[in-house]
Amino acid sequence: MLKTKIGVCVLAAGLLAGCGGGGGDAEAVATVPLSVANYETVALTVAASVVGSGNIISDAFEDTASADLARSTTAQVRALNSGRVADIARFSLNRVAVRQQGLERPAVVWTEIEPCTLSGHLSIRINDADNDGYESVGDSITVTANQCLVEAGEPAVNGSLGYRITDLRYDAQGYFLSGAFDMSFTDFTSAGLVLNGSASVSISRSEFVIGYKNLSASYAGQTLSQNYTLRENADGQITVSGLYTINGSTYTLSTPAAIRMGLIYPDMGTLRIEDGRGNRVDSFMFYSGFTADLYLAGDAVRDASQFYLWSEL
């Protein structure tokens, strides 16, 4: 039982990464170059994704033996309404934890219906691939929301969220060593946000790697697509590499200086956004907020700058 508890908890911690990471070695040539007119919007959009990821996964190296994940609460279900990938993912693994503690199984594959707090329901399809009653490689779960409403005044949640474990290893004493899984969204709609696409997550005691694979988000007339990788080590150092597309225009992300997470937000590091035409935005992280400094092609002179408080994200 301890092995299962630790495995589920650490996997859950990795999923808390929110809208982070993926692949992509190609460089971007943005159809809309960075300029004085758009650099602030681009910087805010990208920073919100990256900082939101690190903000949550920085806690992943702590409390790995917590036994609270399996407890079903209204707050967990409410996470579906948030529109945040991090909270939605956390909900998913909390639900899996409930069903991965040696309970009797009616079959290898089965579906359960769970009413939502106010109206609608969740259809939870579980595939315990080896029928052993514990999480293991090949196991998967799909949660489909059907007009699920958990909080008054919030929009209903619809669509599917799923994941499949691809690696899971323990030491001789049954303690977690490493794990990996694939996660997918299919027309998952919450609070006006529509998610489609997938992400891969790998976890060890020393590093988290989150890779977003064409994870698209539609919201308020904007379309975002993420294909970048976010890595965080046990010291809270975050690096980012890959591509981020905003309304069809793709930018390259990198971290010339690793981002370091403070208690809540980063307090050090540099996030760089480049458009493939020689223009870039450098965001320098401080404990109170971050700058967005625009450098247009042709010289090393800063052409525009803006400072944002973390509360503005």
Write the DSSP string, 71-127: ---HHHHHGGGG--HHHHHHHHHHHHHHHSSS---S-SEEEEEEE-SSEEEEEEEEE
With 90 as the cut, is the pLDDT of residue 277 above it? yes
Q: What is the pTM of this model?
A: 0.79
Per-residue pLDDT tens over the stretch 72-123 = 455 556 666 655 555 565 565 555 444 444 445 556 887 888 888 888 988 8
Per-residue pLDDT tens over the stretch 132-150 = 776 778 888 888 989 988 7
With 90 as the cut, is the pLDDT of residue 163 above it? no
Q: Is 23 exposed, middle or buried (0-12, 13-18, 19+ CB in 10 A)?
A: middle
Give the model's pLDDT for residue 89. 56
Give the model's pLDDT for residue 39. 97
* Placement of tokens 């001789």 in the chain: 172
Q: Mapping DSSP to helix (H, G, I), strand (E, B) and coil, where does residue 205 land?
A: coil
Q: Mean pLDDT across the stretch 288-301?
A: 95
Q: Is 273 exposed, middle or buried (0-12, 13-18, 19+ CB in 10 A)?
A: buried
Closest CA relative to residue 93, chosen from 110, 71, 111? 71
Average pLDDT over all residues of the chain: 77
Q: Rounded to whole angstroms, how far apart are CA atoms 201 and 184?
A: 11
With 50 as the cut, is the pLDDT of residue 45 above it? yes
pLDDT band for position 15 (50/70/90)? very low
Tell me which residue range forms the domain holding 95. Answer: 2-312
Give the model's pLDDT for residue 93. 53
pLDDT band for position 178 (50/70/90)? confident
Residue 50 or 244, more confident: 244
How many domains is the chain partitioned into structurally? 1
Q: Do 102 and 123 touch, CB atoms closer than 8 A? A: no
With 90 as the cut, is the pLDDT of residue 28 above it? no
Q: Which of 99-103, 240-244, 258-262, 299-303 has the lowest mean pLDDT?
A: 99-103
Give the model's pLDDT for residue 209. 83
Closest CA relative to residue 200, chosen from 236, 233, 229, 241? 229
Q: Mean pLDDT across the stretch 217-238?
A: 86
Give the model's pLDDT for residue 125. 86
With 50 as the cut, is the pLDDT of residue 21 above it? no
Q: Rounded to whole angstroms, how far apart are CA atoms 304 and 227?
A: 27
Percent helix / strand / coil, the chain, rounded to 5: 20, 45, 35
Give the model's pLDDT for residue 139. 86
For residue 296, count other CB atoms closer than 10 A to its CB.
18
